[in-house]
Amino acid sequence: MARWYIIHAYSGFENKVRESILSEAERLGLAEAVEAVEVPTETVTEIKRGKKVQIERKFMPGYVLAKLKMTDDVYHLVKNTPKVTGFLGSNNKPQPISEKEAARYFGGVEEAKSAPKREITVDYEIGDSVKVLDGPFASFNGLVEELDFDKQKVKVSVSIFGRATPVELEFEQVELVK
């Protein structure tokens, strides 16, 4: 029976390791023992220059999940793959994880790809000077007072008629002044 294993790889080479394991398994006739090799990723919305951009980000940098029927041949195939440092487990012995735990890492691979996460990262923080891009305060500059990631809002203090006025805006309505 195939079980999920976590493979430790050089960070930044996860996709290359995935491809190498799959192609080497095919070449050695072990394709039926290597059921799946996945790089856990998540879809994240970032704000770049005032625009929402969806990017695919590695959920566990430096790790690859593989569903393997563990045999000596499969073990050596993975261990001898370039950019692989080994399996997660004790005494360098591969330790399988449960289906439930594997699903938690990538929400069932298909589910994770079809349901993007609502996480947003912004390139400004409290105290930064920002420019309002649209709305009634467009082209006003102000200071970031609060960030509310749950509501995806930012509170900016803008100067209106010489008086500092707090204004609540969407994350994508402001950009960092450089």
Cross-strand pairs, 108: none
Answer yes or no: is pLDDT of 92 > 80.
Answer: no
Q: Which two tokens stand for residue 68?
A: 């393997």
14-69 pLDDT per residue, tens:
999 999 999 999 999 998 999 999 988 877 777 777 777 888 888 788 999 999 99
pTM of the complete model: 0.60
pLDDT of residue 118: 53
Identity of the amino acid at 32: E
Answer yes or no: is pLDDT of 117 > 50.
Answer: no
Instruction: Tally Cβ neighbours within 10 Å of residue 95.
Output: 12
54's CB contacts (< 8 A; 6+ apart) are 43, 44, 45, 116
